[in-house]
Amino acid sequence: MKKYEAMYVFYPETSEEARNKFLDRIKSVIEAQEGKVTNTDDWGLRKLAYQIKFKTEGYYFLMNFEAEEAVILELTRIARITDVLLRHMIVTDEDK
């Protein structure tokens, strides 16, 4: 299994309940494929470096996890079809 780092940026008007529901779904997908979430970090509401979809702020959430490569395709698919995310990025975590 490889180590990954995912950053999710939610719309500023997204409720905490909706953010937690999305993150629980991501965690369940990882764990269903025998992966493991190693760290989660809620950065809170932050100013964006530049406007994205006419928004200047977003809720940032960082997640470190171990999973097989096939899981990344499913996580990306889920992130693309959800309506609570401004941006997402998943990269391999080579430092750990």
CATH number of the structural domain spanning residue 21: 3.30.70.60
Structural domain boundaries, residue 73: 2-92
Residues in the chain: 96
The pLDDT assigned to 72 comes to 95
The pLDDT assigned to 96 comes to 52
- Residue 64 contacts by C-beta under 8 Å, 6 or more apart in sequence? 3, 4, 5, 6, 37, 38, 39, 40, 93, 96
The mean pLDDT of 18-39, rounded to a whole number, is 95
Return the percentage of the chain with pLDDT > 90, whole number.
95
Q: Give the total number of structural domains in the chain.
A: 1
Mean pLDDT (the chain, rounded): 94
The pLDDT assigned to 80 comes to 95
- Reported confidence tier of residue 81, pLDDT bands at 50, 70, 90: very high
H-helix or E-strand containing 64? strand 55-67
